[in-house]
Amino acid sequence: MLLTALAGACTAFAALLAVALVTAPSRMVMPWSARVGGAVMLAGLTLTAWQHVGLAALGATDAPPWSYGAGLFAQSWGFYALLSGVLQPADRRRGLVIAGGALSAALAVLVPPIWAIPVSLTLGTAYALHLGALVYRLRATRRWFRVELPVVLAFAVMGLGVGVAGALTPRAIPWDLFALAYSVQMAAGFLLVSALLLLVPDLATKTQEAVSTSYAQSSLGRVDVAQATERLRRLFEDEHLYRDEDLGLAKLARRVDLSPHQLSELLNVRFGESFSKFVRRHRVAAASRMLIDEPRASVLSVGLSVGFGSQSTFYAAFKEETGLVPGEFRRRNLPSDHSGNVQVVD
């Protein structure tokens, strides 16, 4: 019963992450290998979770079915392909990812089922360690580096732990205990990823900005920088594009007729800002005007109208830019001839 409940929970988490993966194109650029890897990873995790229900019924002399090992190899490679695509430029060569896929497929066929667990999860640990090295490269440009790296390393440790347990099963650890322990760990992994995405909702976009900066080689040689800067000005000052809550680096790059890498470099060179800070500055400036010009409007409605997705993100961004929360800013700056006649809405 517990294994079935855990499998259902993992399936629900996988479905939610699949939706996020499908909707990602509007917010960032990802290579085909990363999208394929994400789909393979989620399919492999879902298959593994449900196979644990049958695995628990195996006897001490039984081996897991071939499909169980295949699912483990699939999820390990998919995890690597997805995150390596996010942590490196989209146009970077994918030779290592393709080679890893070929190796995982070959091992899934050649490794005896009884050894599929330790071999696949040891390989997954190696993948996670390489991802940790990619995250470490971004340490100078990512404020959340100290959060992301421990998460990746935690997955490496989890994979190694399950691999060791798999090597001891069924001689020292019965199948039902192994299946339960691994299912609990999978559910914990999904919760960990979900918590990270809640903590940093624009994690993918900010990571892509860090990647563009970290791997930067000047891409503006043939770009009319003055013209591109003027297009940016029109989009933000005349068309108020910052009001688009779903505005991402890739989406803005298409509007400016640049690649995401070029746009990121342009913002850093001409404005000394990242994409996130550039958009945030315009949103806060617009909100500052609205707070004074429209004193009857609630603070939340002001934040949503300029493109912030929630009150918490609006308050955090506004205070970081101005040093004050929106309500206090309004009280301090509302003209005295309005303060006595108009009810100020926080």
Strands (E), 77-117: none
Q: Residue 218's pLDDT is what?
A: 55
CA–CA dist 129, 147 (Å, integer): 16
Q: Residue 225's pLDDT is what?
A: 80
CA–CA dist 175, 166 (Å, integer): 9
Q: Which tops the pLDDT comparison, 211 or 241?
A: 241
Q: Which of 198-202, 264-268, 274-278, 302-306 has the lowest mean pLDDT?
A: 198-202
Across residues 179-185, what is the average pLDDT? 90
Across residues 105-116, what is the average pLDDT? 90
Across residues 21-29, what is the average pLDDT? 61
Q: Which of 164-168, 313-317, 340-344 has the lowest mean pLDDT?
A: 340-344
Q: Which of 47-56, 117-126, 261-270 has the lowest mean pLDDT?
A: 261-270
Across residues 266-287, what is the average pLDDT? 88
CA–CA dist 346, 331 (Å, integer): 9
Pair 70, 64: CB distance under 8 Å: no
Instruction: Read off the tokens for 36.
Output: 């394929």
What confidence category does residue 280 fall into, taking pLDDT thresholds of 50, 70 and 90? Answer: very high
- Does the structure show a pLDDT above 70 at 200? no
Q: Residue 13's pLDDT is what?
A: 85
Q: Residue 134's pLDDT is what?
A: 79
Q: Residue 144's pLDDT is what?
A: 53
- Does the structure show a pLDDT above 90 at 236? yes
Tokens 């926080």 correspond to 346
**116 Cβ contact list (under 8 Å, min separation 6):** 64, 66, 68, 69, 70, 72, 73, 108
Residue type, 118: P
First to last CA, the chain: 49
CA–CA dist 152, 128 (Å, integer): 6
Q: Residue 189's pLDDT is what?
A: 86
- Does the structure show a pLDDT above 60 at 140? no
pLDDT, tens digit, for every residue of 237-253?
999 999 998 898 888 99
Cis geometry, peptide bond prior to residue 170 (ω within 30 degrees of 0): yes
Q: Residue 77's pLDDT is what?
A: 92
Across residues 254-261, what is the average pLDDT? 87
Handedness of CA 176, 177, 178, 181 (dihedral sign): positive
What confidence category does residue 93 fall into, taking pLDDT thresholds of 50, 70 and 90? Answer: low
* Full set of structural domains in the chain with CATH: 2-211 (no CATH), 219-339 (1.10.10.60)
What confidence category does residue 201 fall into, taking pLDDT thresholds of 50, 70 and 90? Answer: low
Q: Which of 158-172, 208-222, 269-283 has the lowest mean pLDDT?
A: 208-222
What confidence category does residue 328 fall into, taking pLDDT thresholds of 50, 70 and 90? Answer: very high
Most distant CA pair in the chain, distance: 86
- Does the structure show a pLDDT above 60 at 341? no
What confidence category does residue 158 fall into, taking pLDDT thresholds of 50, 70 and 90? Answer: confident
- Does the structure show a pLDDT above 70 at 150? yes
Mean pLDDT estimate for the chain: 82
